[in-house]
Structure 1
Amino acid sequence: MAGLTAGHRPAIAVATLFTLAGSAMGLAQPLVARDIVDAARHGRVLVPLLVLMGLFVAEAVTAAAGRFLLERMGEGVIRTLRHGLVTRLLRLDMREYGRHRTGDLISRVTTDTTVVREAAAQALVDLVSGALVSLGALSLMAWLDPLLLLLVAATVGAAALVVTTLLSGIRAASERTQGAVGDIAADLERVLGALPMVRVHCAEDREAARIGTRIDSAYAAGVHTAKLAAVMSSAVQLAVHGSFLLVLVIGGMRVGGADSLGELVAFLLYASYLVVPLSAVFHAVGLIQRGMGAYERVERALALPIEPDEVVGPADCAGPTGRDDCPGATGPTGSAEPAASDEPAEPAGLVGPAGRGGAAHHTDALTFRNVHFAYHPDRPVLRGVSLSVPRRGQIALVGRSGAGKTTLFSLAARFYEPHTGTVLFDGRPATELTRHACRSRIALVDQNTHIVHGTLWDNLTYADPGADPSEVQRVIQQANLTDLVDRLPGGLSCTLGERGSTLSGGERQRVALARALLTRPALLLLDEPTSHLDALNEAALTRVMHDTARQCALLVIAHRLSTVQNADRIYLLDAGRITATGTHEELLHHSPAYRELADAQTLRGPAT
């Protein structure tokens, strides 16, 4: 709690002063009541009654102000916590998204922080105010009658012992509950994201049963927490009520005169004052334990590694013995030069841009030099890939599924860093540039055409929210979206469904293409751009690609060779290696593997 509220100490201090003032006024009321009882036989009670009424009103006002300040502080703590979580989750290292479920991460921002908010706001209010009132009441009770206070202290101490033994169990049970709630969110996000598949396979009941298991786990953990909380609450109530009865019985037996009757009334009022604040204190302690159980999950999310954006130069990587984990460091000296390998950078006899010598690298928008990469250490994906993409023109990557084509795009976008080898942008190693600088050069249209909830305009201008309307019209025409804009109710202002559910696959793909073209990137990456397009739109896209290649670098992944047969250069990947490179016609004559791909699609180029 101290760490969470570190930036809100002034607000806590002011709120505590208000709470102290309110507590002092509340604690003064039994003393005034004592005077009223003792002065009743003389009929002089008007002034003490007015004083008592004034204390009631003043206590209510100051207590309300103190509670509001503490509640506002608690909301501020959680706002800061949520901002930090969202910022962290949006910048996680890409590998972390594969290790954690999206729904569970979302749950930490929503559900877990809500539990923490209750601890930081409500529990802190009850803890501060309840503790102050209880301490004041106990002090005045000690002044009035030390013997009766010992009886009260004994019963309250017994309750405190019970509470202490239960706290660790409450915290652990709360963490299990929050974990189960996170699993529910993750499973539900999984199902809703694939709802058409679920329904067409009649799997609603099976998925409901799967999520129901998570719900049952949350229920069991919640019941266990409730059981511990119920035992704790009962112990507190028995102790407080028991101490009140002891004071009433033993104090009543000791009453010996009018004066002592007023003192007994005051003592009983203080004992009654202990019921609510002391119960609130014990309840707050339990609530804080539950909140800290949720906060541990939040802390683990905040501790996940993020994607660094600083420049990693030779001073950061190179050392006396070199570091194999540094991006671009491949040899024992930490050099970014290709490591010795028995694999040629280019297939013999088919020399492409990557094999033209050092001068070409300085005119290329993107270069891979002997790049090795693996998502898992024992399963390499890329094995010494070298290729170049000139500043103008169309370069294509073809090959079977799993050959490593999409991984090359991920490295170009710097979602990952190569284990060895070097990626260069405009002749400069990527490690000498920030990720932001690298990504500002590129635009990416991947296989999963991402459409966000919002209007068509929002989706088209996502990368450039302040885009000029004439530029938007330009890309609408380039991506052949005019008919879609005319068809949608409201045109560009039409709200698209979640994940673009109101659009067809081809329409989503063309929207993503238009969004990429709007930024006029230096390098455009297209991953399977025709996978959802009909023949008419595929022909239109081919024209767009041809026009785009005259303005910027274009790197295309394609399974349909018809999409890339007019590319300036085609690289054939197989099992993480480039096995052939050349134009479409050159590869048909020199590469049996390429001919096999072409035969599978009954495509043999213009000659046929």
Structure 2
Amino acid sequence: MFRLTAGHRPSIALATGLTLAASALGLAQPLIAKHVVDSSARGEVLWPFLLLLSGLFAAEAAAGAIGRFLLDRMGEGVVRMVRHGLVSRLLRLEMREMDRHRRGDLVSRVTADTTLLRDVVSQALVDLLTGCLVSAGALLLMLWLDPLLLLLVVATVALAAAVVATLLKGMRVASEQMQTSVGAVAAELERALGALPVVRVYRAEEREAHRIGERVDSAYRSGVRTAKLAAVMSSAVELAVQGSFLLVLVVGGMRVGSGGADSLGDLVAFLLYASYLVMPLSSVFRAIGLIQRGTGAYLRIDEVLALPEEPAEQPGDRAPGTRRPPAPALEVSDLHFAYVPGRPVLRGAAFTVPHHGLVALVGRSGAGKSTLFALIARLYDPDDGTIHFDGSPATPLNRRQCRAGIALVDQNTHVLEGTLRENITYAALDATDDDILRVVRLTRLDHVVRRLPGGLDGRLGDHGGTLSAGERQRVALARALLARPRLLLLDEHTSHLDAVNEAALTRALSDVSRECAVLVIAHRLSTVRHADRIVVLEDGRTVACGRHDELLAKSPAYRELATTHVLHSGGPGNGER
């Protein structure tokens, strides 16, 4: 908590000072009340004391309100800082780490967990500090007024403190379990909503609702456990408050009646100080409970902040693209890689891509084609082997330099929520309208522009929900082409296109391949026939390279792909990691 509030300590100090000032003003009020009671009994003038009491009350309220506002603002500031840190960390996580975690649970840590943390920072910490200080002041004044009554109050409060202490660990564990269950609910719901057409077509609504409901029930049970512990704690505190007052009232009243206490005013003052002792202590107990609940949330946040992210960008020797032929645009040498140790996906892939022309990667599902793309895009680093861009090894270059000359269209054809223009210009924010219209024509998105309300500025919905699969694919292609990359990676870019659009796009890529290197994962013979070079992958190894006719003549592996319809003339392509 101390580390979290690093940038906000002046605000905390000011808010704490105001809260303590308000408490000091409150501590003065019982003494004034004592004088009012005693003066009334003697028939003296009361209005100066009443006026002073009203002023102290108003000043206390004002100081407390300002202090509370500063604390709430500080709490929001801390949450903003934590959320910025979490978002930054999540967007830079190593892909292996992202593969190990569920997206919905990670989102829950940015939203639900940080909200709980805000309450801890803005309330619990200062309540803990000011409550202890105010209670200490009240104890000293009560000791001065009546040590015997103070002993009764302390005994009652100590009993409540013992009960609270036994509940704290259980509350922290239950709270952490509840936050984990809430994260699981978000993850399961994100899973189901992301595949909603599949859920409905296969009539799995009840099954998915039951699956998510189990997580909801788990969160409910943890929440009830937390509520049970909080209820016992709250009851213990309330009993301490009421018991202290009753004891002081009964014993103190009997002593006043028998002449054992100084005066009725002393009893009134002591009762008021008892409230200034017990109420701050009750806030201390609640603050401790809130901190225990917040600890569970903070542990989940800290787990994310401790996950490894992509290495910090260091200045590379030089950006790719400064050395031209004879070095190829891309050279892959003896590449080995496994997502899980002991289960290799690539076992020595090797090929080159020239600065101009179209190279096709072919192979059965699971041969490692999409994995090669992920390594070329530096989403992962190879276990062994090297990747060279324009003759420079990728490792000394930082990832941003490697990616600066690359555009990627993967199997998922990601379309972001926003407008068509925002999606197309995602990698080229300074693109002109002429450049945008050029790629719109190349990818045959003209009719989409005409159909959308607002044209280029029409919104596409979440995940491009207003578009067909083929239109989403063409939006992703337009985005890649607008970036004018030196190396264009296309993962079965025509899988959702009809014959007319495929033919038009093939002609467009023929023009693009004269300006940059194009590497495409292909499952269609129409794509392969037009390729300048074909690379055949089998079990993570490169087994043949050449043109279509050459490979048919000399490569049994390629002939098998062509004759067993792994390479086909139409329909959607296969995909693998």
TM-score range (shorter-chain normalised) is over 0.9
After superposition, the Cα gap between the structure-2 partners of 1:285 and 1:120, relative to the gap in structure 1 and judged at 3 Å, is same
Q: 1:10 is matched with which residue?
A: 10
Q: 1:482 is matched with which residue?
A: 446
Is residue 467 from structure 1 mapped to residue 431 from structure 2 by the alignment? yes
Check the 8 A contact 1:403/1:574 in 2, yes or no. yes
Q: If the length of structure 1 is used for normalisation, what is the TM-score?
A: 0.90
AA matched with 2:288: V
Matched residue SS, 1:92: coil
Is residue 562 from structure 1 mapped to residue 565 from structure 2 by the alignment? no
Check the 8 A contact 2:525/2:568 in 1, yes or no. no
Q: 1:26 is matched with which residue?
A: 26
> Which structure 1 residue ranges, 5 or more long, are not aligned?
315-358
Structure 2 matches for 1:119-518, cutoff 5 A? 119-255=120-256, 256=259, 260-311=263-314, 362-518=326-482
After superposition, the Cα gap between the structure-2 partners of 1:500 and 1:257, relative to the gap in structure 1 and judged at 3 Å, is same
Q: How far is 1:313 from its partner? A: 9.1
Q: 1:340 is matched with which residue?
A: none
After superposition, the Cα gap between the structure-2 partners of 1:287 and 1:10, relative to the gap in structure 1 and judged at 3 Å, is same
AA matched with 2:494: T
Check the 8 A contact 2:23/2:60 in 1, yes or no. yes
Q: 2:320 is matched with which residue?
A: none
Check the 8 A contact 1:171/1:290 in 2, yes or no. yes
Q: 2:61 is matched with which residue?
A: 60
Q: 2:484 aligns with which of 515, 520, 526?
A: 520
Matched residue SS, 1:44: coil
1:460-493 CA-partner distances (Å, limit 9, x unpaired): 1111223211111111111111111112222111
Matched residue SS, 2:523: coil
Check the 8 A contact 1:480/1:537 in 2, yes or no. yes
Q: Distance in 2 between matches of 1:602 and 1:298?
A: 46
Q: How far is 1:541 from its partner? A: 1.2
Q: Distance in 1 between matches of 2:394 and 2:169?
A: 49
Q: Distance in 1 between matches of 2:140 and 2:546?
A: 91
1:142-174 CA-partner distances (Å, limit 9, x unpaired): 111111111111111111111111111100000
Q: How far is 1:259 from its partner? A: 5.1
1:253-294 CA-partner distances (Å, limit 9, x unpaired): 211289511111100111123343222221111011101111
Is residue 35 from structure 1 mapped to residue 35 from structure 2 by the alignment? yes
Q: If the length of structure 2 is used for normalisation, what is the TM-score?
A: 0.94
**Greater relative contact order structure (CA < 8 Å, 6+ sep):** 2
Q: Distance in 2 between matches of 1:539 and 1:374?
A: 36
Matched residue SS, 2:387: strand
Q: Distance in 1 between matches of 2:221 and 2:453?
A: 49
Check the 8 A contact 2:336/2:382 in 1, yes or no. yes
Matched residue SS, 1:380: coil
Matched residue SS, 2:98: helix
AA matched with 1:283: R
Check the 8 A contact 2:16/2:126 in 1, yes or no. no
Q: How far is 1:564 from its partner? A: 2.4
Q: Distance in 1 between matches of 2:33 and 2:312?
A: 67
> Which structure 2 residue ranges, 5 or more long, are not aligned?
318-322, 570-577
Matched residue SS, 1:457: helix
1:153-200 CA-partner distances (Å, limit 9, x unpaired): 111111111111111110000000000000000000000000000000
Structure 2 matches for 1:37-116, cutoff 5 A? 37-40=37-40, 41-116=42-117
Q: 1:581 is matched with which residue?
A: 545
Q: How far is 1:596 from its partner? A: 2.4
Q: 1:540 is matched with which residue?
A: 504
Q: Distance in 2 between matches of 1:603 and 1:389?
A: 21
After superposition, the Cα gap between the structure-2 partners of 1:603 and 1:32, relative to the gap in structure 1 and judged at 3 Å, is closer
Q: Distance in 1 between matches of 2:132 and 2:68?
A: 14
Q: Distance in 2 between matches of 1:361 and 1:198?
A: 52
CA RMSD after TM alignment: 1.9
Q: Distance in 2 between matches of 1:501 and 1:228?
A: 46
AA matched with 1:461: T
After superposition, the Cα gap between the structure-2 partners of 1:454 and 1:360, relative to the gap in structure 1 and judged at 3 Å, is closer
Q: How far is 1:378 from its partner? A: 1.5
Q: 1:330 is matched with which residue?
A: none
AA matched with 1:232: M
1:44-72 CA-partner distances (Å, limit 9, x unpaired): 10100000000011001111111111111
**More displaced, 459-468 or 282-291?**
459-468
Q: 1:572 is matched with which residue?
A: 536
Q: How far is 1:12 from its partner? A: 1.1
Q: How far is 1:90 from its partner? A: 0.6
Check the 8 A contact 2:255/2:261 in 1, yes or no. no
Q: How far is 1:559 from its partner? A: 0.7
AA matched with 2:386: T
Check the 8 A contact 2:142/2:150 in 1, yes or no. yes
Q: Distance in 1 between matches of 2:507 and 2:464?
A: 25
1:196-229 CA-partner distances (Å, limit 9, x unpaired): 0000000000000011100110011111111111
Check the 8 A contact 1:311/1:431 in 2, yes or no. no
Check the 8 A contact 1:412/1:423 in 2, yes or no. yes
Check the 8 A contact 1:369/1:387 in 2, yes or no. yes
Q: 2:573 is matched with which residue?
A: none
**More displaced, 582-591 or 266-275?**
266-275
Matched residue SS, 1:375: coil
AA matched with 2:301: V
Q: How far is 1:306 from its partner? A: 0.5
After superposition, the Cα gap between the structure-2 partners of 1:265 and 1:474, relative to the gap in structure 1 and judged at 3 Å, is same
Matched residue SS, 1:304: coil
**More displaced, 586-595 or 218-227?**
586-595
Check the 8 A contact 1:141/1:270 in 2, yes or no. yes
Q: How far is 1:3 from its partner? A: 2.0
Matched residue SS, 1:372: strand
Q: Distance in 1 between matches of 2:316 and 2:343?
A: 28
Q: Distance in 1 between matches of 2:325 and 2:129?
A: 67
Matched residue SS, 2:358: strand
Q: How far is 1:89 from its partner? A: 0.5
Check the 8 A contact 2:363/2:536 in 1, yes or no. yes
Q: How far is 1:603 from its partner? A: 8.1
Q: 1:320 is matched with which residue?
A: none
Q: How far is 1:362 from its partner? A: 4.8
After superposition, the Cα gap between the structure-2 partners of 1:311 and 1:265, relative to the gap in structure 1 and judged at 3 Å, is closer
Q: How far is 1:580 from its partner? A: 0.9
Q: Distance in 1 between matches of 2:211 and 2:167?
A: 32
